[in-house]
Amino acid sequence: MSSISLKQIGLFKEHMANNGVHFSRCYHCRCCGNGCPFLPAFDFAPNTIIRLLQFNLINEALESTTIWACVGCNTCSMECPMLIDIAGLMDGLRQLALATGVPPAEPDILSFHQAVMDSISKYGRTNKLDIMIRYKLKTRTWLQDWQVGLKMLAKRKLDIFASKVRDPALINTLLNTDKK
Amino acid sequence: MTEKVYAYFPGCSLATTARENSQALIHLCRQLGVRLVELDDWNCCGSSSAHSIDATVADKLAMRNLDITPANTALLVACPSCNLRLRYAREKLRTSKEARRKYKSWFGRSPARSIKITTFIELLGKTDLSSIAPKKNNRLKGLKFAPYYGCMLARPPLMHREKNYHGLMERFLAKFGASPIKWSHGNRCCGTFLSVVRPDVVSSMVNSIMNDAAQWGAECLVTACAMCHLNLEIRCNPDTSMPIFHFAELLAVVIDETNSNGFFRKHLIDPRPLLKSRQLIP
Ligand code: SF4
Ligand code: SF4
């Protein structure tokens, strides 16, 4: 298990504050979790994640399923009386987990995101068929959902020829400038 | 309405999986006298996966679209998620010096001072629909629908002062006689990408949405988002299923019935029996 230093935690909090995420305001009313449609897929409720951070227990937060299963629907932020950008916090934690090499508690979700990113760097746009093939290759879940896939193909909802930007290489250059 | 020409941003879903939604929107706009010119060389808006795992990439993608929008042309965004991403990027550029500095380093110029972004819902909100179809005011009479917004009306705190469009779909469709049900699942998120990775979680969510709609007497669900449309269609139980429409499809039916049959063939849950029984399509 990798461990995050106190200094890194401080930097993360600063980075979040610069992005308008002020989670120290949280007083644990739990309105956020009550509104969250995907609580059943989380090991910690959103305010529990915040509590962990308030106690500097960031490793527990980074290893949670919560940061991966959160879809960023912002339902929680609409409920939060303290205007905390909870979805923004989950984005930040997920990205910190990636940057510090904490293994994702939901590896398939990461595989899916990577499949989407691959499609974007290839076409500048997302292509569902391309994404599904990449995702299936990564996760070896060929049998799951094949009926849905066939139905979508039949209704021409999956495009064999991807719609793309004129010059995908330009998008690629843009995406790779000032990468740390 | 002052402008009649918009730069149209279809987004990845409407350009592919949900082409029928896009056709309905373009068709509707033509009826309203609004010309849509597709934004030349648009790219993915940066929603979903990009902002989930790489905030900088998400900013770059969204901002490139803002950068290539012709000056003095409003961007008309078809998809609610794209709309949120593009507006979020615009808000960041407005409020953060650092964001403007980065923009300049990526695109070699400063961001335009004002970039107008609008959605179909907003455009329709400003339009007097009854003037377009004066004689057909009751065409949707008796059609009971569940207005489903998903997460479309939710937004991060940075944008909490923006206008809220609650109730607009109800208002448009009620003008033509349809009756919205009151229910509790109108703002439950559809699950977006979890639908692929955790179909178990999303199926039970989608079925509770469908069951709630049925319980309050809805015959169909009306959405404004292609992603919601797809997730509801592929993840519901056959026995709880009911037709799902993009609101533009229903408006297109009201305004010009002859042209709309094509959209409905592409639905995964066939809405044609319902529409036929209401004499909405031949
Ligand atoms: S709603 Fe806001 S203040 Fe309440 S527990 Fe959640 S994050 Fe904390
Ligand atoms: S943004 Fe994440 S935590 Fe908040 S309601 Fe949506 S899924 Fe739940």
Nearest to B6 by CA among B26, B22, B23, B31: B26
**Residue A8: pLDDT above 60?**
yes
**Residue B151: pLDDT above 80?**
yes
Asked if CATH classification 3.40.50.360 holds for the domain at B4-121, the reply, yes or no, is: no
* Both structure tokens of B47: 């929603």
pLDDT tens-digit readout, B165-181: 888 889 888 888 899 99
Q: Where are the domains of chain B?
A: 4-121, 134-277
Instruction: For a ligand 1 pocket test, name from A24, A29, A42, A66 the mutation site with the most ligand atoms within 8 angstroms of its C-beta.
Output: A29
List B residues 239-268 in contact with A (Cβ-Cβ < 8 A): 265-268
Q: What is the pLDDT of residue B20?
A: 66
Are B12 and A126 inside 8 Å of each other by CB?
A: yes
Residue B84 CB-density burial (10 A; 0-12 exposed, 13-18 middle, 19+ buried): buried
What is the average pLDDT across A45-56? 95
Is residue A109 within 8 A of residue B69, CB to CB? The reply is no
* Cα–Cα dist B179/B218, whole Å: 9
- Which of the two residues, B144 and B127, has the higher pLDDT score? B144
* Cα–Cα dist A32/A67, whole Å: 14
Write the CB contacts of B84 (distance below 8 Å, at least 6 apart in sequence).
B47, B155, B159
The percent of residues above 90 in pLDDT, for chain B, comes to: 21
Indicate the class that CATH gives domain B134-277.
alpha beta
Lowest mean pLDDT among A47-56, A64-73, B197-206: B197-206
- How many other C-beta atoms can be found within 10 angstroms of the C-beta atom of residue B75? 24
Confidence class of residue B277 from pLDDT cuts 50, 70 and 90?
confident
Q: Where are the alpha helices (DSSP H) in A19-167?
A: 31-35, 46-54, 58-62, 66-69, 75-79, 86-100, 107-123, 128-139, 146-154
Atom of ligand 2 minimally distant from the CA of A87: 1
pTM for this model (two decimals): 0.86
